[in-house]
Structures are given as structure tokens and as C-alpha cells.
Amino acid sequence: AASDPDLVERARAAKARLGDRVFVLGHHYQRDEVIQFADVTGDSFKLARDAAARPEAEYIVFCGVHFMAESADILTSDAQRVVLPDLAAGCSMADMATGEQVAEAWDVLTEAGVAADTVPVTYMNSSADIKAFTGRHGGTVCTSSNARRALEWAFAQRPEGAGRVLFLPDQHLGRNTAVRDLGMSLDDCVVYNPHRPNGGLTADQLRNARMILWRGHCSVHGRFSLDSVNEVRARIPGVQVLVHPECKHEVVSAADHVGSTEHIIRMLDAAPAGSKWAIGTELNLVRRLADRYAPEGKEIVFLDRTVCFCSTMNRIDLPHLVWALESLADGRVVNRIQVDTETERYAKVALERMLALP
Ligand code: 13P
Ligand code: SF4
């Protein structure tokens, strides 16, 4: 849909008033009306790095979700203010692991005698609390673009064959990376359910596991099924299926390619004219890519028949962005995301470990 011309003009004017004092980051899942004002766009890894590389910007306006804005606050200086245009832009997956639940899980692992051999790895899609837990216990953050390297790093922290990973909070990214990239079997993975006593696992199961996967998932990517893959293959002969690693293992196994949002864009960019693609990730991005590459003769469709936006990403709309920019231009800092000092200290350790991965 076309953006309201009045709001577009107001966003432009407010950005111009702020000049270099503001830097706008936009995640690939943002609406078109918002992404047009982003100074950079990217996946969550690229945006974390880009935020850290802008020390001169007084304000970072994060068009994305809460955990991304927290990470930007952790990686920028205290003088810089990070603003999330709508505070209700959370992430249901990140909410599936609370600090309290993870502390309790660590007690369960300690009781079973496995905590000392376990390295926590948390997906970027987690609260600053969980990142701080990870940093405190010798672990690292990862994103969908470096999960393999993060797991290799984690296993290298313990003697060969002795270590295991507690992977938070996305069971699918954890499982897909362990099986596809590290060659583990599904039996090497167990799922820790925070809503059941002892995670629903025996001490033996914990001891024998190489991957303890937190029972979290993305509700957007969870909608894709094996049926979606079979259906699109029948409908579009020769189609290549390209999905995000937050999809279920059976979907990822049936796909031709798997990768982060940035990887998906790179693949489509390099694809030859006449190629056909079905993409399993958020709909704002897929629609934009379909429009961008149609003139080059690349046919790009959404993997599922149903509409599949990330509702929290979509919370950031043009009215919220205009409000945030105009407020900043008027000297009012609204919707600031500020992680407390103690949490920040350890979360930063885990984030910096990720940024230092080879
Ligand atoms: P990436 O941008 O890292 O691929 O992650 C997708 C996502 O779900 C962000 O919330
Ligand atoms: Fe969270 Fe999924 Fe939305 Fe990403 S797409 S922000 S993981 S709910």
C-alpha cells in the first residue's frame, strides 16, 4: 500500500532537521512505509554491527523489535540513546525464555551434574537478561547468520566429546544448525520444556545430550509446513525452496537452501533470470523481494498460501516513526530502550564474543 504522503513528508522533514544526529536502522521484516527511511537495512547481525559502528549518532532509531533495540543499546556508548518507535514491538520467541526460567534450568543442570560441561549459546532473539546469563556462564550470542560458527566455538570450549550446549530460546535454529551444519543426529538433541518439572527431562537424558534445546519457537516461521513445500513444488515446477532456519526441521530438510534474511537476499540477487523461488520467511520481505526482482525475470513467491506477517515487527508503522522522529527533533527522547548497567555488562560479554567469532 502507498504511504500517506503527508506522513512521508513529515518523516522526511523531521529526519532532515535531525541530520547526522539520528541514525535509523531497519530490519528486513519492516513495512515498506518504514524501511524507506532506514539509513541501513539488514538482518539482526548486520544491524547490531552497524549500530556499534555509529558512535557519532546521538540517537539510534531502531525499526525492528525490542531485543534488537536492547542489543543496540548494549553495543553503543552510554551517551547514545536508542529509541524503539513502538514499545509494543516485542518478539514472542524472545518472551519464551525469561531470566527466572533460565536460572531455574541452570539449577536443574547443576543438580544433574552437567552444568560444568555445558556452554550456553543464545540466539539474538532473546532478552538482555538471557544474554547476560549467557555471558556470565561463558557462552555467546549467535544469529541465524553465524549459528554454525557459534556452536563450533562453544564445543571448542570443552575437551573433545565432553561438552554440550544449552541453546536458547529457538529450538529450531539450534536443531537445524546442529544437524545440518555440525552433522549431529536428532538423537543428540533434547528439548527442555520450562513448563515441566526438570524441563521434562531425566538426568540421564541431560547427560547424554549434546544439544539441550530450549522449547521456544517463532510463531511466524512455525506456520510453514512440509505440506507448504510439497504444495509449492507441485504448483511451480522447477521452483527452488529457500527458507529461514527458524523453520521446523522437516521444512528445512525438505528445502533446497536455508539461510538468514541477509543470505536469502544475496541468493536472490545472484539468481539467474527465469529462476523460480518459494521463500519461507516473513511476508513484508518476501513481497519486497518479489517486486524488486520481477523486472529481472525472477519469479518469487511466498512459501505458504496463508498471509504471514510478523505482527510485532508490523507494529512499527509510519505514524509511530513520524512521532519518534518529530519528538527527537523537538528535543524529547521518547521510547528510550535502556538496559540496566549490571545486565548490560554481562550481555555485552556475550555479544562481543559473537562479534569476535571468526
Ligand atoms: P535474521 O534477520 O537474523 O535472519 O532473523 C530473523 C528474525 O526473525 C528476526 O527477528
Ligand atoms: Fe520474533 Fe519471529 Fe517476529 Fe522474528 S519473525 S521478531 S523471531 S516473532
Number of helices (H), then strands (E), in the chain: 15, 13
| Atom in ligand 1 nearest the alpha carbon of residue 145 | 3
3-state SS, residue 302: strand
210 & 228 share domain: no
Domain count, the chain: 3
pLDDT at 307: 80
75: nearest Cα among 22, 20, 141: 141
How many other CB atoms are there within 10 angstroms of residue 124's CB atom?
26
98 & 213 share domain: yes
pLDDT at 306: 86
Radius of gyration for the alpha carbons in the chain, expressed in angstroms and rounded: 21
CB of 313 closer than 6 A to ligand 2? yes
Tell how far the Cα of 110 is from the centroid of ligand 1, in angstroms. 32
105 & 179 share domain: yes
Q: Which of 302, 323, 351 is the last residue of a domain?
A: 302
- The three three-digit cell numbers of residue 49, written as one number: 554491527
Residue 310 among known ligand-binding residues: yes
Over the stretch 136-175, which tens digit does the pLDDT of each residue have?
999 999 999 999 999 999 999 999 888 999 999 999 999 9
212 & 228 share domain: no
* CB 101, CB 194: distance < 8 Å: yes
pLDDT at 308: 85
Residue owning the nearest CA to atom 1 of ligand 2: 91
Residue owning the nearest CA to atom 2 of ligand 2: 218
79 & 41 share domain: yes
Using CB distances shorter than 6 Å, the residues near ligand 1 are: 28, 43-45, 91, 125, 143-144, 218, 246, 260-261
CB of 258 closer than 6 A to ligand 2? no
Whether 346 is in a domain gets the answer: no
334 & 286 share domain: no
Whether 322 is in a domain gets the answer: yes
Residue owning the nearest CA to atom 10 of ligand 1: 125
Residue whose grid cell is 549467557:
134
CB of 173 closer than 6 A to ligand 2? no
Residue 231 among known ligand-binding residues: no
Whether 349 is in a domain gets the answer: no
CB of 125 closer than 6 A to ligand 2? yes
3-state SS, residue 275: coil
Q: Which of 170, 189, 217 is the last residue of a domain?
A: 217
d(C-alpha 244, C-alpha 258), whole Å: 6
Tell how far the Cα of 43 is from the centroid of ligand 1, in angstroms. 6
155 & 193 share domain: yes
| Atom in ligand 2 nearest the alpha carbon of residue 125 | 7
Q: Looking at the CA of 45, which ligand is closest?
A: 1
211 & 100 share domain: yes
Residue owning the nearest CA to atom 1 of ligand 1: 43
pLDDT at 147: 97
Tell how far the Cα of 19 is from the centroid of ligand 2, in angstroms. 31
* CATH at 108: 3.40.50.10800
- Identify which of 70, 218, 307 to mutate to test ligand 2's pocket (most ligand atoms within 8 A of the CB): 218
28 & 99 share domain: no
Tell how far the Cα of 261 is from the centroid of ligand 2, in angstroms. 12
Whether 86 is in a domain gets the answer: yes
Residue owning the nearest CA to atom 7 of ligand 2: 218
| Atom in ligand 2 nearest the alpha carbon of residue 218 | 2
Over the stretch 253-300, which tens digit does the pLDDT of each residue have?
999 999 999 999 999 999 999 999 999 999 999 999 999 999 999 999
100 & 212 share domain: yes
Whether 357 is in a domain gets the answer: no
296 & 280 share domain: yes
Whether 307 is in a domain gets the answer: no
Whether 166 is in a domain gets the answer: yes
207 & 231 share domain: no
What residues make up the domain containing 126?
Answer: 94-217
* CB 279, CB 318: distance < 8 Å: no
Positions of the chain with pLDDT lower than 50, given as ranges = none
Give the neighbor-by-neighbor strand order of the sheet with 81-83. 40-42, 22-27, 59-63, 81-83
pLDDT at 45: 86
